[in-house]
Amino acid sequence: MLKIALVGNPNSGKTTLFNGLTGSNQFVGNWPGVTVEKKSGKLKYQDFEAEIIDLPGIYSLSTISLEEEIAVRFVIENKMDLIINIVDASSLERNLYLTYQLLDSKIPMIVALNCMDIVQKKLQQIDIKKLEDELQIPVIPITASKKTGINDLIKLIAAYDYAGQKHEHRYEDQIEKTIEVFENLIGDRFLAIRFFEDGLKILEPLKLPPEANAKMIEAYEQESKRYQIDFDMVIPNSRYDAIIAVCEIVLTKNGTDVISVTEKIDKILTHKWIGLPLFGLIMFMVFFLAFGPIGTWITDWFVFGIEWLFSRVDTLIANLGMMPWVSSLITNGVFGGLAAVIGFLPQLAILFLFMAILEDSGYMSRAAFIMDRLLRKFGLSGKAFIPMLIGFGCSVPAMAATRTLDKDEDRKITTMIIPFISCGAKAPIYGVFAGALFFRASYVAVFSMYVLGIIVAILSAVMFKKTILKSASANYIMELPEYRMPTVKNTMLHTWERVKGFLLKAGTILLGAFIIIWFLSYFGFVDGTFRMLMEDEIEHSILGAVGKFLLPVFRPIGFPDWQATVAMLTGLVAKESVVGTLGILYGVAGNVVENGSLLYEPIRLAFTSAQAYAFMAFALLSTPCIAAIAAMKKEFNSWKWLIFSLLYEFVVAYLVALIIFQVGSLDQGVILSIIFGIIAIMIVVFSIRKFVIKRGAICDSCVNCSIKDNCHLPKKDEFLAIIDQKKEDDQDDRE
Amino acid sequence: MTLKDILPGEKCRIKNIYVNNLRKRIIDMGLTTNTEITVKKMAPLGDPMEILVRGYLLTLRKAEARMIEVEKIGGSS
């Protein structure tokens, strides 16, 4: 089957076009880089059939982030039959840059000129015929969001002459000479041009022998002397000159520039004074709607429905007369576990919905713009704000969102600190404990948990940046896309896509984990015989035995009894099951998840306030739930890093809980223990910050780079060292 | 004079790019020699800055902006 790839800038409407071509439910966002993995679908038109591949958005073939690398590797390595280059007509100049880079590859290409409606709004006109003549490839005007022009595009794809001669873009004579020198060494014009632009980096995957590499470097240095301007700027300059010439021919502006709607909105939303408070207000509104009265109300009804359904299933199964362990597996293992996760779905769906609206409208990019200054102080880029924000809802989608970060090290740092951000599932734990022991100060206690999570996350980020992940760049350069009115359909698709991802995870990995935990909690030795246990016999279960065995480890951090330990262990399944388990273990009749106050009495008997606070802190910071661990593994793609970060989280949680409990035990005053906890952490924050934070940006290669020394890229030794290091890392990972 | 010194509302033209960090990205995003830039505004916390270049809005940090040599053009608009 023919392979057709969609390539274009982030935010150019690629995913919308993909949906139009394949009819698939792909989600579309306005946050640069929503497509985090390659997605493919089928295009069918009469007898014609082709595979359409949607690649992450890229600005150029020279990559800096992982998702861009996915796209570019695909273009360079997999020989595609056709590229559909989607070009956002409303910023033609920048979009055509990628088009020209792609032209060098000589892969057959069609340009889909998107957003013609915006062009008209800007009182501009683009002469399609002239653009075709200039580029010497077919150009089809479309408006992907309104589905106009898509049929013409499909017809053209079906009728395209795949075997025909492809036009080659020629550069100025001097540049062509240099390309020829490189081409003679590598044997490929496209690679020669890539080398011209990107230097040695491009040779890495070719695995040339060292002598050949040395020859390339020599040629590079020789050639670079022949140009007045920086060598790596030669080709981009030439391309942009060509593009400006093309734009002058094809683009006609009627009258003066109109002030765009985007600028008007931005006058308010990124305003010097009110921009920040507005941002805070928007974020507050999102969380208020998701986790406040409305979200809780919807959740309550939803949980009510689920429980009614499950109770019917329970009765049904009980009447079937199956073996007791089978019915227990179904009711307690499968449905019990699913209920714990699905009960959380409405709030998550609301959160995802608002995130989708913020993303589709283009506000998320502004959020990164506003927050960058703050996050940079902690060694993070403004772009890291979005994953962290999503982390307040659920760590799983948050970790997937780290792929928009530029460097692998930045992504690692962000992924590792996301579990510290208090996710929605942890809220019931705070609710029950704070409600039981902190009375009027319970809101302060709950709020302090969120603050504690943020502080630990920030400190960890700073520490990682200064120790094991020094090369993390925390770079920031970002386009602010034009505001768009989010369409109902896109927003719903976007929300559904994420909810679906969550449900799929619940249905696969989590189901397996639930069954294991079910086995551990419903089987055990009673009076020397191994058998299945009743609901109230969990004390004798394997899990109970593990809990009792581990109790001495948790005593120093204030765990009063094995029940607390076991509850924390079941938190591995889903953090919300901590409360449920405590209910069972303390023998509370009734649903503690729905009505937390039932647990107040047993908790008051078992915990002191210092113990409760330490327990809350431990639940917040310790190893995340299985779903998050699975997401982490996916993002790290390395067991080494996964185990390291899980251990790190456990150790941090243990230490913080230890400090809180030990300090808190000195004085039984409820408020005092909270204050002590916070002050202890604040002192650590400021002392560490004094040592590690230095002003100014850190450059990748030349740390104290002076503006006068014009630096010639690539630096031979540095590049070779990086290549060696990468090879070693790869080998390490394979081992 | 560098891009960092240009005030919101003012226009300038790029003379040279000394940036090491993110260099290739900055160039590919259209900041090449002789490109005209309009500085739009600073972020509420004073950094990064928002510029209009080649018909679209780009944001970058002052750390990078001070490595881009520019010359001012025209009066303030």
- Helix (H/G/I), strand (E/B), else coil: A272: coil
Sort out which chain B residues have CB atoms less than 8 A from A230's CB and list them: 17
- Cβ–Cβ gap A276/B44 under 8 Å: yes
Q: What is the pLDDT of residue A643?
A: 94
Sort out which chain B residues have CB atoms less than 8 A from A236's CB and list them: 27-28, 32
Q: Which of A208-222, A568-582, A672-686, A709-723 has the lowest mean pLDDT?
A: A709-723
Is A379's pLDDT higher than 70? yes
- Cβ–Cβ gap B29/A262 under 8 Å: no
Torsion of CA A92, A94, A95, A101, to 10 degrees: 130
- Cβ–Cβ gap A477/B61 under 8 Å: yes
Q: What percent of chain A has pLDDT over 90?
A: 18
Closest residue on chain B to A382 (Cα): B48
Q: Of A575, A572, A591, nearest to A583 (Cα)?
A: A591
Confidence at A727, pLDDT banded by 50, 70, 90: low
Can you point out the beta strands (E) in A434-491?
A: 477-480
Is A701's pLDDT higher than 50? no
**Which of A372, A705, A711 is closest, CB to CB, to B43?**
A372
Q: What is the pLDDT of residue A714?
A: 43
Q: What is the pLDDT of residue B75?
A: 58
Q: What is the pLDDT of residue A614?
A: 92
Quickly count: other Cβ atoms within 10 Å of residue A356's Cβ.
27
Closest residue on chain B to A278 (Cα): B44
Quickly count: other Cβ atoms within 10 Å of residue A443's Cβ.
10
Task: Give the tens place of pLDDT for each residue, A58-82.
Answer: 899 887 666 677 778 777 776 788 9
Closest residue on chain A to B32 (Cα): A237
Confidence at A732, pLDDT banded by 50, 70, 90: low
Q: What is the pLDDT of residue B37?
A: 94
What residue ranges do the domains of chain B occupy?
3-73
Confidence at A668, pLDDT banded by 50, 70, 90: low
Most confident of A10-14, A170-174, A403-407, A432-436: A170-174
Q: Which residues of B touch A (CB under 8 A)?
A: 17-18, 20-30, 32-33, 35, 40-48, 50, 54-61, 63-64, 66-67, 69
Q: Which CATH number is B3-73's, of 3.40.50.720, 2.70.98.50, 3.20.20.140, 2.30.30.90?
A: 2.30.30.90
Is A693's pLDDT higher than 90? no
Q: Which residues contact A706 (CB under 8 A, 6 or more apart)?
A: none
Give the bridge partners for B17, in sequence order: B68
Is A711's pLDDT higher than 50? no
Q: What percent of chain A has pLDDT over 70?
A: 84
- A268 CB near a chain B CB, below 8 Å? no
**Which of A240, A373, A696 is closest, CB to CB, to B32?**
A240
DSSP one-letter code for A713:
S
Closest residue on chain A to B66 (Cα): A707
Measured at the CA of A20, the angle between CA A14 and CA A25, to 5 degrees, comes to 85
- Give the mean pLDDT of A557-566: 88
Task: Give the tens place of pLDDT for each residue, A498-508.
Answer: 787 767 766 66
Quickly count: other Cβ atoms within 10 Å of residue A704's Cβ.
6
**Which of A232, A262, A697 is closest, CB to CB, to B63?**
A697
Place of tokens 């704000």: A385
Radius of gyration of chain A measured on its C-alpha atoms: 29
For residue A714, is the peptide bond before it cis, meaning its omega torsion is within 30 degrees of 0?
A: yes
Is A704's pLDDT higher than 50? no
Q: What is the pLDDT of residue B58?
A: 94
What is the widest separation between alpha-carbon atoms in chain B? Answer: 31
Q: What is the pLDDT of residue A649?
A: 93
Sort out which chain A residues have CB atoms less than 8 A from B32's CB and list them: 233, 236-237, 240
Q: Is the distance from CB of A254 to CB of A125 less than 8 angstroms?
A: yes
- Give the mean pLDDT of A405-421: 86
For residue A415, the one-letter residue type is: T
- Give the mean pLDDT of A424-443: 83
Q: What is the pLDDT of residue A160?
A: 84
Q: How far is CA A338 from the centre of its chain?
A: 25
Confidence at A324, pLDDT banded by 50, 70, 90: confident
Confidence at A619, pLDDT banded by 50, 70, 90: very high
Can you point out the beta strands (E) in A447-563?
A: 477-480, 523-526, 529-532
- A201 CB near a chain B CB, below 8 Å? no
Place of tokens 């690692």: A412
- Give the mean pLDDT of A485-502: 80
How far does A91 lie from chain B, in Å, by closest CA? 6
Give the bridge partners for A271, in sequence order: none
State whether CATH 3.30.43.10 applies to domain A173-253. no
Q: Which of A195-199, A266-270, A648-652 has the lowest mean pLDDT?
A: A195-199
Is A179's pLDDT higher than 90? yes
Q: What is the pLDDT of residue A7?
A: 92
- Cβ–Cβ gap A480/B29 under 8 Å: no
Confidence at A33, pLDDT banded by 50, 70, 90: very low
- A293 CB near a chain B CB, below 8 Å? no
What does the alpha-carbon distance between residue A503 and residue A344 come to, in Å, rounded to a whole number?
Answer: 11
Let me know if A402 is exposed, middle or buried by CB neighbors in 10 A (0-12, 13-18, 19+): buried
Residues of chain A with CATH 1.10.287.1770: 173-253
Q: Which two tokens stand for residue A489?
A: 């359909």
- ipTM field: 0.94
Which of B4, B13, B32, B39 is best to mutate for the A interface (most A CBs within 10 A)? B32
Measured at the CA of A203, the angle between CA A199 and CA A209, to 5 degrees, comes to 125
Let me know if A595 is exposed, middle or buried by CB neighbors in 10 A (0-12, 13-18, 19+): exposed
Residues of chain A with CATH 3.40.50.300: 2-159
Confidence at A712, pLDDT banded by 50, 70, 90: very low
Q: What is the pLDDT of residue A8?
A: 92
Task: Give the tens place of pLDDT for each residue, A452-467.
Answer: 999 999 999 988 888 8
- A59 CB near a chain B CB, below 8 Å? yes
Q: Which of A250-259, A293-302, A363-372, A599-608 has the lowest mean pLDDT?
A: A250-259
Is A200's pLDDT higher than 80? no
Q: What is the pLDDT of residue A113?
A: 93
Average pLDDT, chain A: 81
- The topology under which CATH files domain A2-159 is Rossmann fold (3.40.50)
- Give the mean pLDDT of A507-511: 68
Residues (pLDDT < 50) of chain B are: 76-77
